[in-house]
A and B are shown apart, each in its own frame.
Chain A
Amino acid sequence: MTLDIMLGSAGNPFGEKLQHKTEFRGETTYTITANDLRDIAKFCRDNLSFDYLLDITSIDNFGEEPRFEIVYHLYSMPHGLHLRLKSKLSEEAGALDTVSDIWPTADWHEREIYDMMGIKFNGHPDLRRILMWDGYPFFPLRKDFPLAGLPSDMPDVAFTKVTPLEGGPFVTVPSTAGSKDREPRARPREL
């Protein structure tokens, strides 16, 4: 069974909202708006049997508007099908609805996105940081966060310092060259 047949037989009520469709190597991606997210997620789980949420990721398109993009990877156990949903999110909005009540696994995925990107999820049962500690003031996977980090200090909990990056053996050089030429060990030793 293909995704098109499934969408056809289920009497897709989101025909217009699911219109930005792209196909790449047999994988289907729909772009949706953040307002439709919960309705479409419920429909995908209940009517299209996408019972498994593989992953939620977030992308920071720094300098573009809207800035963030959230990607939901769905999988249908009964039919062996993948579906990808993408939703744009502006920095001012900064939040979108949780799907953790639709797929419980979304709980920690959304916490990770909050921790790394600073995107909030309305209705999440326990929106705390998951990798960094509570009180860490930055969101490290944002594009405007430097790779070397920023200094911070929470007495008796944790601290961070700026990491020296220059001259390190494991730091690639920013350029448009291929990874083979950017890789540090390919560089001649500086004398």
Chain B
Amino acid sequence: MVETHAAAYDSKIEGNVIFTRFDAALNWVRKNSLWPMPMGLACCAIELMATAASRFDISRFGAEVMRFSPRQCDVMIVAGTVTYKMALAVKRIYEQMPEPKWVIAMGACASTGGMYRSYAVLQGIDQLLPVDVYISGCPPRPEALLAGLMKLQEKISGQRSLRDQAPQLAEKLEEMLA
């Protein structure tokens, strides 16, 4: 009697194996553990703090780990009025963040300068940084920030992470699998 074995089948792990694309798995990990860089520059920072507190609880979306070192951050939340005096400091902190990184412009001031049409205020942080999500409001409510965060998660889950960010590794994998 000849014994047969299914090479890729093991009854012990049946039901515990998921097949997916590598990008989907990577993006799923990234989007559910977005560590924010809280760039609190004005009153929007109060709403940012409220979003992190118990009532709104940003940890439901995996973004509760506010890091005050840019080296450990994934998403910069620019919350408040960016003055020209602060602008290059914000840019420098952004540049210190490791890739991949994203930017949320929270509120009217960070998005467009808001009501500060003046000599002292940068008219939107998008003049210096690539902004992924703009949130309207003056200041936005915590729900709006959470909606913006979910929008960013949506954006991340659609990215071609491997091919765009590690093209050499992607080629190598393709060669090996061919």
Which A residues contact B (CB, under 8 angstroms)?
A: 131-133, 138, 140, 145-150, 156-161, 163-165, 168, 170-171
B119 at the interface (CB under 8 A from A): yes
Q: A146 to B123, alpha carbons, bound, how many Å?
A: 16
B contact set with A: CB distance below 8 Å = 84-85, 87-88, 113-115, 117-121, 123
Chain A interface main SS type: loop
The residue of chain B having its C-beta at the shortest distance from the C-beta of A166 within the complex is B117
In Å, the complex CA distance between A150 and B84 comes to 12
Contacts of B85 in A (CB 8 A): 131-133, 158
Question: Contact between A150 and B123 (Cβ–Cβ < 8 Å)?
Answer: no
Taking the closest CB of chain B, its distance from the CB of A118, in whole angstroms, is 14
Please determine whether B84 and A158 come into contact, CB atoms closer than 8 angstroms.
yes
Going nearest first, the 10 A-B pairs with the smallest beta carbon separation are: A149-B119, A170-B115, A160-B84, A158-B84, A168-B117, A163-B117, A140-B119, A158-B85, A165-B117, A133-B85
What would 14 A/B residue contacts be, using CB atoms closer than 8 Å? A131-B85, A131-B120, A132-B120, A140-B119, A140-B120, A147-B117, A148-B119, A149-B119, A156-B88, A158-B84, A160-B84, A160-B119, A163-B119, A164-B117
Report whether B119 and A171 are in contact in the complex, using a CB–CB cutoff of 8 Å.
no
Instruction: Return the chain A residue nearest B87 by Cβ.
Output: A158
Cross-chain contact of A158 among B88, B114, B118 (Cβ < 8 A): B88
Which A residues are in CB contact (< 8 Å) with B88? 156-159
CA distance A149 to B85 in the complex (A): 14
Q: A140-B119, A158-B87 are in contact. List 20 more A-B contacts (CB 8 A).
A: A131-B85, A131-B120, A133-B85, A138-B119, A147-B118, A148-B119, A149-B118, A149-B119, A150-B119, A156-B88, A159-B87, A160-B84, A163-B118, A163-B121, A164-B117, A164-B123, A165-B117, A168-B117, A170-B114, A170-B117
Min CB distance A90 to B, Å, is 25
Question: In the assembled complex, which residues on chain A have CB atoms less than 8 Å from the CB atom of B117?
Answer: 147-148, 163-165, 168, 170-171
CA separation between A165 and B119, bound complex, in Å? 11
Tell me which residues across on chain A come within 8 A of B84, comparing CB atoms.
158-160
What's the Cα separation between A160 and B116 when bound, in Å? 14
Q: Which of A149, A156, A168, A171 contacts B120 (CB 8 A)?
A: A149
Task: Give complex CA distance A163, B117 in Å.
Answer: 6
Complex Cα gap A90–B113 (Å): 36
B119 touching A145, Cβ below 8 Å: yes
